[in-house]
Structure 1
Amino acid sequence: MIAADPDVSKLIYEPMKYSGSLDHLSYVEVTPIIGREYTTAKIKDILQANNAEQQLRDLAVVISERGVVFFRKDQSELSVDELKRFTDEVGRLSGRPKENGLHVHPLYRDPGNIPMGNGETDENIYVINSEAAKALYKTVPGRTTNQPKDLSREWHSDATFEECPSDFSCLMMQETPPDGGDTLWCSGYEIYDRISPPMREFLDGLTATCAQPVFKSACTAGNYEVMSPRGSPQNVSDNFAPSHPVVRTNRQTGWKSIFAGVGLHVTRINGLYDYEEKMIRDYIMRLITHNHDCIARMHWTTGAAAIWNNSCVWHAATPDTHLVPGAVRTGIRASSIGEKPYLDPASTSRREALGISI
């Protein structure tokens, strides 16, 4: 809900409040800072509850405050349409623009787009599959190298290459390897809180270009048109080079988070000299890698699901399944599309808002 008062001391979006409708569900906090795991809850039961909208809205609050929520119990009976509806409703009920919906992957028409386990494809579902990634992104420069892997490149938030990126993403894992294949999430709230106040003030004024030219090159190589629009009337064309704030405000909480300061899709922090730009991006990545208490880790089990808020977390898959002979790791992901990222001058950091000392 947008606050009517134009006073700059008031937040543009009124923070969401938890009503208690999920209190009957058993959970554990993954870490004190980030993540919650519902140990026995079924997404299908939430969708079918008499107060489904209230529960889904409360879930949006929990996800936005904790960054990511895991559903450990096997969710395999959840249909593709139900997964889509679940993700769509969490985004809608948390106040995203009314004209927005689920993201459409730019390369949906690509012949290398591997279908889901049922043999079907869906423009709103991205199939998580290492072989699919190789086929879709074969035009990325430098994919073949003898250099050691730099896994810091794996960190990203979904659809940052769009004018309106994803707010919520939900992934249900269908097949898992016996070892490895974990996913990590890092709190952009907490990374922001670990930066000195003068440095925060500097970062607050910066934007970054989030270019992803692979989509245009893949379409050219495959001789097909990019999908458009993609979950928002603003997500059109094949430019894929929007400018986003380095620090953004999460509309659900009103808290600041590092957003476009690092990640797979961030190509340059704007307006800085080359060395300055590299120094800042290296610094933010150093904060991620040196502060593992800001990270929640999911060891996937068959049918488990995770839903996260891309406005305040990055995530990174652990690319180690190739080390396990015969390993299979596949899942399906739906993503809601939120508003164009913004920095509200009235917003504060998470620790400031909650009165937590560093």
Structure 2
Amino acid sequence: ERLEKAGVDISVGYPEIPPRDEIPIFVDQAHAIRDYDVEFIERGKNADPEKKALFSAAKEVINLTKNVGTEIVGLQLSDLTDQQKDELALLIAERVVVFFKDQDLSPQEQLKLGKYYGNVEIHPQAPHVPGLPGTSVIWNDYKQSHGLKLNFANNNLGNWDSQKNPAVGNQVWHTDLVHERQPAGYTHLHLDAIPDVGGDTMWASGYGAYDKLSDEFKQFLDGKEAVYVSAHGYLNRDDVFGGPQKIERTHPLVRTHPATGWKYLSVNRVMTKRIVGLSPVESDLILNYLFDVYEKNADLQ
């Protein structure tokens, strides 16, 4: 109903699948898709720290936990001024995830809002709303009907071996697009179908995870880099029968958010493969501890 109201033509099928000849098959193809710098925009950097324009227009502002999650009640994203959008960017930077219920936002407006915050990711493999590349569709019923896998079973991603850890759940903690040259600044989800029970997604604070560490351990990690891998596997041109290969990128293990100036721990069990400069044994020991900091401290979530 939301799509039809917005004038999206779904008569030819929904969602729209990227043309087969545009979907990367080989790892070098996928690596090259965004192997260049794009303009970085940080809207929250110069926003009002008190967020008066945003908060005064809301009926209620609810912090859901100490470290992560805020709900804004009584505001439509489609009505936000640029000043309110900038303050929202700062709020997201501080609170990690922000929720707006009962939104009338169309897919076109969602895409426009995304472009305000920067370059919008157009996923080379994911289906999207017809005519609107950049509005990826996550739809398990669709994937199931087309015989596609619904989880990470049988994939070895980063430091997580699914053969040893077949369950999903906390084993699939991740950060979007960390394998890219410039990882995602935001992920904007609009839920069209919500179950009465279940279907929950959890978030965790990288700031809180970093603050859990001792000062000496922080000093050890600061300046270290890690290798991050893609969720999807691709073929190696030189060894097409050698199994799937992941895109790999190197990024700082500890990063500083440009809007808040706060340091955060940038690791996740699914896509962080190894720490640069350490032996495999050393890297695995440290990474598994850091993964546990995220996953086993409920006050971060």
What TM-score results when the alignment is normalised by the length of structure 1? 0.61
> Are the aligned partners of 2:231 and 2:271 in contact in 1 as well (CA < 8 Å)?
no
Provide the rounded CA distance (Å) in 1 between the counterparts of 2:273 and 2:184: 18
Q: Note if 1:85 corresponds to 2:119.
A: no
Deviation at 1:136, TM superposition (A): 6.0
> Are the aligned partners of 1:38 and 1:70 in contact in 2 as well (CA < 8 Å)?
yes
Provide the rounded CA distance (Å) in 2 between the counterparts of 1:146 and 1:278: 15
Q: Deviations over 1:132-153 (max 9, x none)?
A: 5666669977159696504333
1:252 aligned residue: 259
Runs of 4+ in structure 1 off by over 4 angstroms are 13-16, 131-141, 143-148
Provide the rounded CA distance (Å) in 2 between the counterparts of 1:121 and 1:137: 25
Q: Note if 1:283 corresponds to 2:289.
A: yes
Q: Note if 1:38 corresponds to 2:88.
A: no
Provide the rounded CA distance (Å) in 1 between the counterparts of 2:253 and 2:150: 29
Provide the rounded CA distance (Å) in 2 between the counterparts of 1:136 and 1:205: 40
Q: Deviations over 1:276-314 (max 9, x none)?
A: 11111111122123210111xxxxxxxxxxxxxxxxxxx
Provide the rounded CA distance (Å) in 2 between the counterparts of 1:58 and 1:198: 34
2:55 aligned residue: 23
> Are the aligned partners of 2:108 and 2:132 in contact in 1 as well (CA < 8 Å)?
no
2:35 aligned residue: none
1:308 aligned residue: none
Provide the rounded CA distance (Å) in 2 between the counterparts of 1:84 and 1:151: 29
Q: List aligned pairs for 1:201-350, cutoff 5 A.
A: 201-212=219-230, 214-217=232-235, 240-259=247-266, 261-295=267-301
Matched AA of 2:138: I
Q: 1:266/1:44 Cα in 2 relative to 1: closer, same or farther (>3 Å)? A: same
Provide the rounded CA distance (Å) in 2 between the counterparts of 1:66 and 1:157: 16
Provide the rounded CA distance (Å) in 2 between the counterparts of 1:210 and 1:269: 9
Which has the bigger relative contact order, CA under 8 A and spacing at least 6?
1
Structure 2 spans left out of the alignment, 5+ residues: 1-43, 156-161, 238-244
1:126 aligned residue: 136
Provide the rounded CA distance (Å) in 2 between the counterparts of 1:213 and 1:39: 34
1:71 aligned residue: 100
Provide the rounded CA distance (Å) in 2 between the counterparts of 1:131 and 1:264: 23
Matched AA of 1:102: V
Root mean square deviation, CA, Å: 3.0
Deviation at 1:66, TM superposition (A): 1.1
Matched AA of 1:85: K
Q: List aligned pairs for 1:81-230, cutoff 5 A.
A: 81-89=108-116, 91-92=117-118, 101-108=119-126, 113=127, 115-116=128-129, 120=130, 122-131=132-141, 142=154, 148-212=166-230, 214-217=232-235
Provide the rounded CA distance (Å) in 2 between the counterparts of 1:29 and 1:290: 21
Matched AA of 2:79: D
Q: Deviations over 1:214-242 (max 9, x none)?
A: 353499xxxxxxxxxxxxxxxxxx98311
2:11 aligned residue: none
Provide the rounded CA distance (Å) in 1 between the counterparts of 2:268 and 2:221: 12
Deviation at 1:62, TM superposition (A): 0.8
> Are the aligned partners of 2:224 and 2:254 in contact in 1 as well (CA < 8 Å)?
yes
1:314 aligned residue: none
2:30 aligned residue: none
Provide the rounded CA distance (Å) in 2 between the counterparts of 1:136 and 1:263: 23
